[in-house]
Homo-oligomer: A and B are copies of this chain.
């Protein structure tokens, strides 16, 4: 495979983990736009500890403190990125960060959470291939630039090509190429799906995120496991998932792929999660940070309204969380 020039946009735990892996592919150059961890990564690079991949450190080709700096250097040094991997949280329009960083030949790989996050990229970069991706990787970044990979990783990827006018051929080719890159990087489980299959995977992950994450916050910071073990929370979370997956079937116009884990299987996994961990949304909330409410719950609800479908539990969660956020923003905690 020819060498690739890759830019990680938003180098949190997930971005740093993929950066680290991809940097091991011969000839591939990985650069990173960082925010709070800029100084640490600029100085020491990205260190990843993993039970699978061992203890590795790598220095990105470029470390940028902001998209502006990346634009500057790109222009001065005539850089071209084959792949932009976007792993920021979704707050507002997720495509804005990539402006000025994309060329005709660049592909965008969107790992972000929620629904309908690809469309802004397609509008802004009509000649680029948009790759939609979902990851299930247990990673955290306890200190800046230090990433702990807890266990396995699974990457699901497919073209974002919602209508027949899209250039399916290019997108499909790029998906295959990127999947090969991931496999070369030692990432074992990479599933390549069609556009619709990938959208189902995205809806499926959103159903999990939209049910369990806000529930943990609204229920006073309970663990992920509690949402599967407490009988009332189980009934509630199951109900939210059922609403969202039912909507997915309606919106995508196809039956739910049998390859996706059933709600029962997902919640069985939740029940067995002994780690005591809470969803990332709870961590964001507890730290006073913005949460991905609109991308995850808001966009599901807007899809339901477009489809004239009722998703009462999901609407209830959205309404409560939205106001809780307004109340918090109006009087931030003093501690």
Contact = CB atoms under 8 A, between A and B. Distances in A.
A324 B235 contact: no
Nearest to A318: B232
Contacts of A221: 327
A219 interface: yes
A220 B88 CA distance: 27
Given A312-B239, A312-B313, A315-B239, A324 B220 contact: yes
A328 interface: yes
A222 interface: yes
A316 B319 contact: no
A218 B320 contact: yes
Nearest to A220: B327
Contact of A232 (B219, B220, B319): B319
Interface string A117-157: 00000000000000000000000000000000000000000
Given A312-B312, A316-B313, A232 B328 contact: no
A315 B232 contact: yes
Contact of A320 (B219, B312, B315): B219
Contact of A218 (B239, B324, B328): B324
Given A312-B313, A313-B313, A236 B324 contact: no
Contacts of A325: 220
Contact of A220 (B226, B235, B323): B323
A236 B327 contact: no
Interface size class of A (residues with CB under 8 A): 20 to 34
A220 B320 CA distance: 8
Contacts of A239: 312, 315-316
Interface in A232-252: 232-233, 235-236, 239-240
A226 to B, nearest CB: 7
Contacts of A233: 319-320, 323
Interface in A275-312: 312
Contacts of A315: 232, 235-236, 239, 313
A222 to B, nearest CB: 5
A230 B313 contact: no
A119 to B, nearest CB: 23
Contacts of A317: 316
A306 to B, nearest CB: 16
Interface of A: 215, 218-222, 226, 230, 232-233, 235-236, 239-240, 312-313, 315-320, 322-328
20 contacts: A218-B218, A218-B320, A219-B320, A219-B327, A220-B324, A222-B327, A230-B319, A232-B315, A232-B319, A232-B323, A233-B319, A233-B320, A233-B323, A236-B315, A239-B312, A239-B316, A312-B312, A313-B315, A313-B316, A320-B320
* Shortest beta-carbon contacts, A-B, top 6: A220-B327, A219-B323, A232-B319, A220-B324, A236-B319, A313-B316
Given A236-B319, A240-B316, A316-B316, 5 more contacts: A232-B318, A235-B315, A236-B316, A239-B316, A312-B312
